[in-house]
Structure 1
Amino acid sequence: MSPEPDTVAALGEFGLIRAVTGNRRQPKSTLLGPGDDAAVVAAPDGRVVATTDVLVQGVHFRLDWSTPEQVGRKAVAVNLADVAAMGATPSSVLLGLACPADTKAALVTELVDGMWAEANRAGVGLVGGDVVQSDQLVVSITALGDLGGRAPVTRSGARPGDILAVCGRLGWAAAGLAVLGRGFRSPVSVVNAQRAPEPPYPAGPAAALAGATAMIDVSDGLLADLGHVAAASEVGIDVHTPRLQISQKLREVGSALGADPLRWVLTGGEDHALAATFPPFVDLPEGWLRIGSVTMPESGVTVDGKAVGPDGGWAHWR
């Protein structure tokens, strides 16, 4: 039996590759793009920041909640946020795609359109990858970045006396998930924050230039991710809630759902904001907001000086 004409099976592997890579403009950092055994990208620094992430349908995204374009944006964004959290400038992304044979070709092209749109927002290109058949839709992105001659900003550099700051939205994706979980689709601005995050990519290199001592992508929730910094740096971190900015929109959604928006801000994941620590004498770069301080070792992560409970954010397999 011949495959349905509008599916990836009908296109075939190379037809699908041509469909998603043709007529795309690559940035100057792409020296050789799709079409050969491997891509070639510029690495002016001589070092390459590399990260990868896997999104599985039904676990990390739902196509009844998000369009394929939004899923594509999210797949790229979650990886490039990790590059920015190292203080690096994104340079390229690669795609690994697994899907059933009867997947509509239009779904895949829309998915990749979203990837290209987010890659372009960060100033990078989709330089290559692989496509295979599987029982469900799986998207894997590998992202590369350039440090520009700077040392990477790791999780282990925070010191007592440093200030804690964030850049980007917090709590919006969690609020959007709560709205979708109740069967609603509005307010759109909140729901879209869950569907496709908007990491502040330039804020990572800006923080590195300003002297950030430690940095992390807030993917699993602010408190949970600060716990990683505290453990790696062997320090305590205290979040000062009066300094947190909770938008009126989040307050309205919290009121409608009977939820505390502060909890979304503190424990909600998937916003992919950046959190970093800085020496106390540093002028914070534009867009960064001071929200706390680094304290003495063994005090862990605290909120207004009080210990945090075990439910501090997202954990896989929990």
Structure 2
Amino acid sequence: MATVIPNPHFNSEEAAKKLRAAMKGAGADEKIIIDVLVSHDNAQRQEIIDVYKTLFGRDLIKDLKAELGGYFESTVVALMTPKYEFLAKDLARAMKGAGTDETALIQILCAHMNKDLIEIKSAYKKLTGRELESDIIEDTSGHIKHLLVAQSNAFREDEGPVDYDRVEKDVDEINKAAKKKFGADAETFNAILSSRSYNQLYATFERYKEKYGEDIEDTIKKETGGNLRDGLLTIVQYTKDPSLFFAKCLYKSMKGAGTDDRTLIRIIVTRSEDDLASIAGAFYAMYEQPLSDYISSDCSGDYKRLLLAILGNI
């Protein structure tokens, strides 16, 4: 269930005027900005951007950036950016300069449906002029490179009836791959987890535990390591329960000293029109504390108020 929905009384001109008024004079009226942005979905925000340009001859996002700062600004810009363009920008950032943000690459590429990955690839090409696959190959290495390339190709089979003969074959192949003498056979894991439909994978994971007495997550944790382990676990957990997967990512982003604000913003914003209410429910069931309480404890100021406003319809 979404927490941000289309405004049934949408008036793009009125919204644009409110935003302009909120940024006139000394300082911005952050409360009005939050109210306007969260009371409209992304498609409506894109219309507001266009009307703002027509009315005032100004770029709304540039004006917002000039008036705001910090992670509040980052969240506002994320809300004003089309979803797939935002995710494409995050992928480009993750591979920019020295070092690679594998966490972002894995969360985006290993926890989205085919239709989403196709849109992300298209947005990436439009944004950078390069193919996503080529940049992944250039910027990553080892088994995680092969997994991410496979995910970026969006060749996962369409959902359909479970093929139980194939389930039986795949669980045996996975078990065999995990028991290799000199380390797990990563190619077998990659091939199966990147190509089977999600309902096929779900049945495979259930049968694996039934037949070999071990959850596939435990097998992956024991027999693989590093970024490959993280990528495989992401696919498994997303397959089993997408809402719980994102709830765990949010918890991890706020656990301990410091906050992984990029992950926090990415999940809260990009899932707000899809399943953020379900994610919040899974968070409460898992950690026995509302997601809003964690955000209140971990964030501050207008940044906190905006994140809570996005959650506000729960």
- TM-score, normalization by structure 2: 0.27
Bigger Rg over Cα: 2
Higher strand share: 1
Higher helix share: 2
- TM-score, normalization by structure 1: 0.27
